[in-house]
């Protein structure tokens, strides 16, 4: 195994960065952004910048707590893309579910986001376990 695939943090960072940007490109190309959203392109560019920054922090620093936090937001994105695929829009602000035109291409994004969530969760779990083990060894001394 090479150094990248054997390191869960680097694998998660590459999955998050690479697949995250791919999801953003598919979202833009397939026009999955609601038409009511203003400056969607600007928001997608800002999103891509944050994806790159977070991926770099996880890759270079092994920031597993960041991986754990990103599991939550990316799970929400995967659920939203799945719902868009079946023709539902969940609005968290108004706590409502609205019917929209089903967009089957959103299932591709949902699957990609599920892969990202899996890799981030793996990074967080392994990082937490290592942190816990170090604390228990330090406490035993």
pTM of the model: 0.87
Domain containing residue 10: 3-140
pLDDT band, very low/low/confident/very high, at 17 (cuts 50, 70, 90): very high
Tell me how many domains the chain contains.
1
For residue 74, give every residue at least 6 positions away whose Cβ sits within 8 Å of its Cβ, in sequence order, or none.
16, 113, 116, 117, 120
Contact 66, 57 (CB under 8 A): yes
Per-residue pLDDT tens digits for 21-48: 999 999 988 988 866 667 877 888 898 9
Closest-CA residue to 44 (of 36, 55, 56, 32): 32
Per-residue pLDDT tens digits for 69-124: 999 999 999 999 999 999 999 888 888 999 999 999 999 999 999 999 999 999 99
């Amino acid at each position: 195994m090479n150094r990248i695939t054997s390191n869960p943090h680097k694998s998660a960072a590459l999955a998050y960065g690479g697949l995250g940007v791919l999801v953003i490109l598919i979202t833009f190309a397939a026009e999955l952004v609601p038409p009511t959203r203003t400056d969607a392109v600007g928001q997608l560019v800002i999103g891509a910048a944050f994806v790159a920054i977070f991926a770099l922090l996880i890759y270079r620093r092994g920031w597993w707590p960041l991986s754990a936090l990103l599991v939550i937001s990316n799970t929400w994105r995967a659920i939203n893309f799945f719902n868009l695929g079946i023709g539902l829009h969940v609005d968290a602000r108004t706590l409502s579910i609205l019917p929209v035109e089903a967009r089957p291409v959103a299932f591709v994004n949902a699957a990609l986001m599920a892969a990202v969530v899996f890799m981030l969760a793996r990074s967080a779990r392994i990082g937490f376990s290592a942190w816990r083990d170090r604390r228990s060894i330090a406490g035993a001394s």
